[in-house]
Structure 1
Amino acid sequence: MVTAIAFTAYGGPDVLHPVEIDLPTPAAGQIRVRVKAAGVNPVDAKLRRGDFAATMPANFPQRLGNEYAGIVDHVGDGVAGFVDGDEVLGSATAQSYCEYVVVDAADAVRKPATMPWTVAAGLPAAGQAAHTALRQIAVNPGDTVLIHAAAGGVGTIAVQLARQWGATVIGTASEHNHHYLRSLGATPVTYGDGLIDRIRALAPDGVDAALDAIGGAAITASLALVRDRHRIGTLVDTEAAKTFGILRVGTRSTAALTELVAMYEEGRLQIPIHATFSLTQASRAHHEVQTGHVRGKVVLTVD
């Protein structure tokens, strides 16, 4: 038996608790990974609260965790390219808060020896979402791009990618994160009343594209500032995408993750770790994520 984190009813962070499950066995084309660290994302908290209950109901006891880093310890039939002992990172679906995960080998990427486990676990979901989202809203050299929640996990990576792709970036964030955003190459702007006017003052020639990671007022501002709605992407607000004809963005791409890992190795990508907690402290990690003031990633470590 192995330890995983699950919940049996919707609620606050304290509904999370350890459970014992059978050690999973990989099928053909899969690998089993002994998890060293797992990323914690805002979407995990939304699932735990029941935000998606109408469209994606939980299967109690419901597990969580969409990104992991660890060591291959069992290779399924037909897998080429990985052997026991390889260090890897990648995406999973609601299972990474666990001592072991089974994933498709095609979705795993080798972890560089110089990449810490916490960084490796914090990159896959946020990195793939940021990379594919910016491609979907067609960010190009010379563009001015607005990134909402720019200091968070996805935002941190999106800012760096957009800058390296030749765009000017305006990032929304609370004031205590403004210095941080400047260090990444973005021009920061504070949330709240008057946001649209503040952005117009920073971008008198207009905003070409926008990436939203929070919904609500961010959607309103983006609609007011971006001429082409097909260049507004939201990672979180499916209803707004349907209502206003903007894009629901942030898909997975192993090719994108491979590129991001290479960028990290070359020193062109930072993955700041805001806080780490042990696997059994998942509820504390969720409390931290829900503060809304996370800079970079929150990660669970597994002994």
Structure 2
Amino acid sequence: MTQRSVTQHRARQVVAPRYGGPEVLETIEVDVPPAGPGEVTVEVRAVGVNPTDYKGFSGRMSSDPAALPIRPGYEVAGVVTALGADTELASGGGAVGDEVLAFRTPGGGYSSAITLAAADVFAKPATLGFPEAANLLLAGSTAADMLRVVPPTAGATVLVHGASGAVGVLLLQLLRTRGVHAVGTASPSRSDEVRRFGGDPVTYGDGLEDRARALAPQGFDAAYDCVGTDEAVDVSLALVPKERFVTIAAQARAHRDGFAAVGGRDPESAAFRDSVRAELIALAGSGDLVVPVAGTYPLDRAAEALTRLADGHPGGKIALIP
């Protein structure tokens, strides 16, 4: 393994110097640490934009001034510019010039370059664009985690709430690879997106339970909630036993009503999400897992991208392009 020069260089990085909304973000110049043993430096070509990015600086989880500045960004895709001594990518091998993607950076992914643990860096399939690659693993591993907690039965029918959202469309595709039929809730304007990824659309709102039953007269095997509304929870509990229902967005209801929720800091969930990354990349590389991208923004317009995401219906994933 050849190590490239470890000369330190500079990068543009978006940070939150104080707590607040997207308007607090600023672009600064930072030093990029050289890649040491077990590390890789990546010239970033695309950054995944996720709700967890703005939660960190919103002040809702913490407002500790000692934690400032907050450096958002946990998913990137780009090109290797340096490998530490005796270091391989998580997918094996690795050389300067390789196209890669990474998830679970230590933060700071909103940057034109980043040094991160090689254990989190994988070879990018040539068939996958940088914006798609930068948005695959967080949403994809979340969807896979839901199926770990409530495994679907092949040939059965399940209900997916928020089926046209970032996690929902990947969940639909993972269900399809397992031979599972899905009914997915969405607005009328997003029905075609549900069909595109293998589900039968059903409009949410008053009467959802009856409409869902009409699409699955044999009943539902399981329900998966990606939106967290009371409607999603109530309808799911009316259609399936609580042991066959999992949410990623209604943690308070899950605790109160005794059904499963994934996410947060559960170590079992974190370990699983790490373990499934290679499988998700392989599925995306073969075309069995498509990441729809609604738009891209220059790195300096991160606030605009996050505002669009926070509005709730971006129509697909969003990427920043340094």
TM-score by length of 1: 0.90
For the pair 1:53 / 2:65, whether they are aligned, the reply is no
Distance in structure 2 (CA, Å) of the matches to 1:12 and 1:195: 34
For the pair 1:290 / 2:310, whether they are aligned, the reply is yes
Shift of 1:58: 8.6
For the pair 1:89 / 2:101, whether they are aligned, the reply is yes
Shift of 1:255: 4.3
Distance in structure 2 (CA, Å) of the matches to 1:254 and 1:106: 10
Partner amino acid, structure 2, of 1:127 = G
Distance in structure 2 (CA, Å) of the matches to 1:299 and 1:152: 15
Shift of 1:158: 0.6
**Is the radius of gyration larger for structure 1 or structure 2?**
2
Match among 281, 284, 287 for residue 301 of structure 2: 281
> What is aligned with 1:271?
291
- CA RMSD, aligned part only? 2.2
Match among 29, 32, 35 for residue 23 of structure 1: 32
> What is aligned with 1:176?
189
Partner secondary structure for residue 22 of structure 1: strand
For the pair 1:68 / 2:76, whether they are aligned, the reply is yes
> What is aligned with 2:4?
none
> What is aligned with 2:118?
105
C-alpha contact 1:29 1:78 (8 A) present in aligned 2: yes
> What is aligned with 1:164?
177
C-alpha contact 1:108 1:254 (8 A) present in aligned 2: no
Shift of 1:25: 3.3
Shift of 1:281: 0.7
> What is aligned with 1:154?
167
For the pair 1:258 / 2:258, whether they are aligned, the reply is no
Partner secondary structure for residue 3 of structure 1: strand
Distance in structure 2 (CA, Å) of the matches to 1:235 and 1:57: 29
Partner amino acid, structure 1, of 2:70 = Q
Distance in structure 2 (CA, Å) of the matches to 1:45 and 1:169: 31
**Shift in alpha-carbon separation, 1:236–1:27, aligned structure 2, 3 A:** farther
> What is aligned with 1:139?
152
Partner amino acid, structure 2, of 1:18 = T
C-alpha contact 1:109 1:254 (8 A) present in aligned 2: no
Distance in structure 2 (CA, Å) of the matches to 1:94 and 1:79: 21
TM-superposition CA deviations, 1:162-195 (whole Å, max 9, x none): 0121111111111100012112110112222222
TM-superposition CA deviations, 1:240-275 (whole Å, max 9, x none): 332222223254534422222222232222211101
Distance in structure 1 (CA, Å) of the matches to 2:243 and 2:73: 30
Partner amino acid, structure 2, of 1:33 = V
Shift of 1:278: 0.8
C-alpha contact 1:40 1:299 (8 A) present in aligned 2: yes
Shift of 1:110: 0.5
**Shift in alpha-carbon separation, 1:108–1:230, aligned structure 2, 3 A:** farther
Partner secondary structure for residue 155 of structure 1: helix
Q: May I ask how many residue pairs the two structures share in their alignment? A: 300
Distance in structure 2 (CA, Å) of the matches to 1:264 and 1:60: 36
Shift of 1:234: 1.9
Distance in structure 1 (CA, Å) of the matches to 2:139 and 2:162: 13
> What is aligned with 1:225?
239
TM-score by length of 2: 0.85
TM-superposition CA deviations, 1:5-30 (whole Å, max 9, x none): 12133332212221232213334322
Distance in structure 2 (CA, Å) of the matches to 1:142 and 1:121: 32
Distance in structure 1 (CA, Å) of the matches to 2:254 and 2:146: 14
**168-177 vs 16-25, which moves further:** 16-25
Partner secondary structure for residue 156 of structure 1: helix
Partner secondary structure for residue 287 of structure 2: coil
Distance in structure 2 (CA, Å) of the matches to 1:13 and 1:5: 11
C-alpha contact 2:21 2:58 (8 A) present in aligned 1: yes
Distance in structure 1 (CA, Å) of the matches to 2:106 and 2:47: 12
Distance in structure 2 (CA, Å) of the matches to 1:20 and 1:226: 52
Shift of 1:93: 4.0
C-alpha contact 1:6 1:18 (8 A) present in aligned 2: yes
**198-207 vs 274-283, which moves further:** 198-207
